Structure 1
Amino acid sequence: MDQLQSMRVFVKVADLGSFARAAAQLDMSNAVVTRHVADLEGRLDTRLMNRTTRSLSLTEAGQVYLERTRQILEELDDAEQMVLERTHEPIGTLRIVAPVVFGMHNFGQVLRDYTQRYPRVIPDITLVDRSVDLVEEGFDVGIAIARNIRSASVVSRRLTTGCLVVCAAGTYLQRHGPVEHPSSLATHACLTLNPGMSGDEHLFEGPDGQTRVRPNSVILANNTEMLRQFALQGMGVAILPSYLIGKDLERGALVPLLPDYQLAPIDIHVVYPSRRYMPAKLRTFIDHLVEHFEEGPADGASERWLADADGAVLAGSLTLEAIRKSAEADRQQA
């Protein structure tokens, strides 16, 4: 028989001092209650209760077993209650993994709002740019961009889609002239990711079809935030994700180039191990992420500016026109 159930029956019989009363409370027959206690005695090879037709008393061994069994059952009930609380109420540590740059630029507001709503959840955030096995490394949830999450049997849910933007600082463009076609990247000074991370060529879709370009790399790096800093310093042309540079584009620190040409979009997903038995802390965090990115794309207000195609082209064209005029004036003065 079920040993745990037999232990519960034994405690109930001992507390009530009667097999019949225990059977009534447990909604069992007298025979089943008797069999549970007898099964325990057989397992332990000792008598736990002395029975007569009129009375029931614990043996010395029964008294020791009762005290320890009662403690075990109380601890088990406590453990089950703790698990139930975490299943139905957001509580506990939530282990999150995300790419470095995305996490640094997009998690601040998300986590602030989430912890305000669910103060009993403690986010434990790991930012890495290597491939991650979600299950083996013990993470509850991850942000997947491209294929940085390699775990099998995980659930994936798309949050939003970003884009890659060709950009440069106005100071660079004033010195070196505009970038009017993807092929120009073969001669401009380009700030690029290491080939192992993004390849050494880029495929553009535009009015004249597909254009494949190998940029003239003057600086290589393994981190897009570093490339952003170089671009802001006017050191060259960079291809950077919109969730990283949206605010730079809004304030004019970087100028979007090649508005009529597009690179492959960046799909951003939330991934987690399973839909079954999902604890409340995980379920509420996923819902919060989805809600956040539905309200605004990957970098909030800055990407909403990018999502407005007419506005983006107009803003870029006006900036580029001003740069062209400035460059022409410089040439005339020279």
Structure 2
Amino acid sequence: MDKLQSMSVFVRVVEQGSFTAAAETLRLSGTMIGLHIKGLEQHLGTRLLNRTTRRQSLTAFGQEYYQRCRQILADIDDAESAALSLQQSARGHLKVACPVSLGVHVLTPLLAQFLAQWPEVTVDLVLSDRALDMADEGIDVRIHIGPLEQMNSLVARPLPVYRSLVCASPAYLERAGVPASPHELQQHRCLGFAHPSAGHEWGFEQHGRAVKVPVNLVMAINNGEALRQAALKGLGIIMQPEVLLAEDVQAGKLRVLLPDCTPPAMPVHILTFADRQQLPKIRLLVAFLLEQMQAGFPL
């Protein structure tokens, strides 16, 4: 028999004072009540109750066991109540991963709002432009930019596409001139992201077709913010995410180049594990991010 059920029957027998009263309360037969008590006694190797035709009483061991059973069953009730409460509110720790520029300029401010709304949640935010294995790194939620890889046990929810701009400072353009087409980038000083997929070619969409052009890369840096700073100092032309450059463009510190030839937009997804996506802290964070980003990334 189920040990927890037998313990519950035993406690009810003690509190009701008889097998018959306990049977009525639990809607079990008297025989079944007796089997539960007998099973416990056989398992424990000692008697729990002294029974006569007229009355019953606890043995010394039975009294101690009754108190322990009451506490165990109360702890189980508390645990189930806590679990039910967790289904309604977010609490606990989350590990979230995101590419650097999107994480700094978009995700961090949004997480600040989320944590203000759910103060019992804590977040470990990992900003990295390298590929991350969610299972190996212990990541609960990951923002992924680019084509989806093998999904296995992951669930992907789409976000707005991620756009990049080609920009340079007014000082650089005054000194070197303004490129009229992507192919003229070979005659300019360009600043690129130090990544194997970036290389010395930049991709564009021109008149509905994809175009790749070689660029004169005079500096490669593995950080978008550092590339931005170099461009602001007039060192050359950069292609970087709109979320990183938007404020500088609005302030006139950088100018957008080649408006008719835009870098291809990249798909963005929120990734979670299929078997954990309904945990309140994960479910509520994903819903919050989808709501905040549905019209585009805040700039």
1:144 CA drift (Å): 1.3
**In the alignment, which residue of structure 2 is the partner of 1:48?**
48
2:276–2:282 Cα contact (<8 Å) kept: no
**Per-residue CA shift, 1:214-252, capped at 9, x if unaligned?**
221111111112111111111111110112212222222
5 Å-filtered alignment, 1:296-307, equals 296-298=295-297, 300=298, 302=299
Distance 1:32-1:42 versus aligned 2 partners, 3 A rule: same
1:267 CA drift (Å): 1.7
1:85–1:91 Cα contact (<8 Å) kept: no
**In the alignment, which residue of structure 1 is the partner of 2:174?**
174
Any idea what SS the aligned residue of 2:119 has? coil
Any idea what SS the aligned residue of 1:89 has? coil
Counterpart CA distance in 2 for 1:231 and 1:23 is: 82
Of residues 255-264 and 126-135 in structure 1, the stretch that sits farther from structure 2 once superposed is 126-135
1:126 CA drift (Å): 2.4
**In the alignment, which residue of structure 2 is the partner of 1:138?**
138
**In the alignment, which residue of structure 1 is the partner of 2:200?**
200
Counterpart CA distance in 2 for 1:207 and 1:136 is: 43
Of residues 253-262 and 199-208 in structure 1, the stretch that sits farther from structure 2 once superposed is 199-208
**Per-residue CA shift, 1:164-218, capped at 9, x if unaligned?**
2111111111110001111122221111112414343223221395432122111
**In the alignment, which residue of structure 1 is the partner of 2:293?**
293
TM-score, with length taken from structure 1: 0.82
1:263 CA drift (Å): 2.3
Paired residues, what number? 299
1:134–1:150 Cα contact (<8 Å) kept: no
**In the alignment, which residue of structure 1 is the partner of 2:34?**
34
1:90 CA drift (Å): 1.9
1:289 CA drift (Å): 0.6
Any idea what SS the aligned residue of 1:122 has? strand
Counterpart CA distance in 2 for 1:19 and 1:198 is: 78
1:158–1:269 Cα contact (<8 Å) kept: yes
Q: Output the amino acid matched with 2:288.
A: H
Aligned residues with identical type, % of pairs: 38
**In the alignment, which residue of structure 1 is the partner of 2:90?**
90
Distance 1:5-1:198 versus aligned 2 partners, 3 A rule: farther
1:57 CA drift (Å): 1.6
5 Å-filtered alignment, 1:155-174, equals 155-174=155-174
**In the alignment, which residue of structure 1 is the partner of 2:184?**
184
Distance 1:130-1:25 versus aligned 2 partners, 3 A rule: farther
Distance 1:209-1:150 versus aligned 2 partners, 3 A rule: closer
Counterpart CA distance in 1 for 2:208 and 2:140 is: 45
1:63 CA drift (Å): 1.9
Distance 1:65-1:199 versus aligned 2 partners, 3 A rule: farther
Of residues 176-185 and 127-136 in structure 1, the stretch that sits farther from structure 2 once superposed is 127-136
Distance 1:85-1:167 versus aligned 2 partners, 3 A rule: same
Counterpart CA distance in 1 for 2:149 and 2:98 is: 9
Task: Identify unmatched segments of 5+ residues in structure 1.
Answer: 303-334
**In the alignment, which residue of structure 2 is the partner of 1:154?**
154
TM-score, with length taken from structure 2: 0.91
Counterpart CA distance in 2 for 1:37 and 1:249 is: 79
Tell me whether 1:69 sits opposite 2:69 in the alignment: yes
**In the alignment, which residue of structure 2 is the partner of 1:110?**
110
Tell me whether 1:237 sits opposite 2:234 in the alignment: no
Task: Identify unmatched segments of 5+ residues in structure 2.
Answer: none
1:94–1:140 Cα contact (<8 Å) kept: yes
Distance 1:151-1:55 versus aligned 2 partners, 3 A rule: farther
**In the alignment, which residue of structure 2 is the partner of 1:266?**
266
**In the alignment, which residue of structure 2 is the partner of 1:22?**
22
Q: Output the amino acid matched with 1:297.
A: G
Counterpart CA distance in 1 for 2:65 and 2:244 is: 64
Counterpart CA distance in 2 for 1:164 and 1:12 is: 69
1:275 CA drift (Å): 6.0
Counterpart CA distance in 2 for 1:6 and 1:144 is: 51
Q: Output the amino acid matched with 1:56.
A: Q
2:147–2:267 Cα contact (<8 Å) kept: no
**Per-residue CA shift, 1:23-78, capped at 9, x if unaligned?**
22222222222222222222222222222222122222222222222222222222
1:10–1:37 Cα contact (<8 Å) kept: yes
Counterpart CA distance in 2 for 1:276 and 1:29 is: 41
Any idea what SS the aligned residue of 2:156 has? strand
1:132 CA drift (Å): 2.1
